[in-house]
Amino acid sequence: MRTKLSLQTVRGEFVNRIETISGQSLLACNQCGKCSAGCPVAFSMDVLPNQVIRMAQLGMEDVLQVQTIWTCAACLTCVSRCPKSIDLPRVMEALRQIYMEKFGNVLDPDQIAPEQAAEMPQLAIIGGFRKYSA
Ligand code: SF4
Ligand code: SF4
C-alpha cells in the first residue's frame, strides 16, 4: 500500500508551527547570509540570524535555546537586505512564542516591585512584556 505524504507531514509539526505563526516560508531562505552580514547586533549573538533560520528549516528544536531569538532587536535591517523577502524578525518572534508556550513566560509581571515599575519608562515596560511574555 502506498502512503501519501504531504510536504507538511515530512517537514514536521515544529517547522509547520513556525511558518504558521510567522507567516514566512522557511524554505525560501537560500542561506545567502546577507541578514547576518548587516545585522547591527550580530556581534553579541551566539548564533547568527541565517543560522537561526537554517536550524528552523531543519526542524531543530534546539533553536529554542539559542540566545539570538531574544537578542534580536527587530530593527528590520535584515528584512530590507533579504533577497527572498523573508521577514526574519517574525521568525524570531514565532520562536519566542513557541518557547514561552513550552517553558512559560520569561518575564513575570509579579516579580517587578511596584517601586521599580514606577521608575521604569512605560514604553520599556510595554516593550518588555510584549517580548518576554506570551
Ligand atoms: S538574507 Fe534572507 S535568504 Fe539570505 S540567509 Fe538571510 S533570511 Fe536567508
Ligand atoms: S531584525 Fe534582528 S536579526 Fe534582523 S538585523 Fe535586526 S537585530 Fe538583526
Q: What is the pLDDT of residue 93?
A: 97
List phi, psi (to 5°) of 25. -95, 110
CA of 92 to the centre of ligand 1 (A): 13
Q: What is the pLDDT of residue 30?
A: 97
Which residue from 14, 7, 20, 104 is spatially nearest to 55, judged by alpha carbons?
A: 14
Gap between the terminal Cα atoms of the chain: 44
Q: Residue 46 corresponds to which cell in the numbers above?
A: 551566539
**CA angle, residues 127, 84, 65, in degrees to nearest 5:** 45
Q: What is the pLDDT of residue 1?
A: 62
Mutational test site, ligand 1, from 22, 57, 84, 95, max ligand atoms within 8 Å of CB: 84
How far, rounded to the nearest angstrom, does the alpha carbon of residue 73 sit from its chain's CA centroid?
11
Per-residue pLDDT of the chain (134 residues; tens, 9 = 90+): 666 666 666 679 999 999 999 999 999 999 999 999 999 999 999 999 999 999 999 999 999 999 999 999 999 999 999 999 999 999 999 999 999 999 999 888 788 888 888 888 888 888 888 888 88
- Burial label, 107 (beta-carbon count in 10 A; 0-12, 13-18, 19+): middle
Question: Has this prediction a pTM greater than 0.85?
Answer: yes
User: Do 107 and 132 touch, CB atoms closer than 8 A?
Assistant: yes
CA of 94 to the centre of ligand 2 (A): 14
Question: Ligand 1, atom 3: nearest CA belongs to which residue?
Answer: 29
CA of 56 to the centre of ligand 2 (A): 16
Q: Tell me which H or E stretch contains 2.
A: none
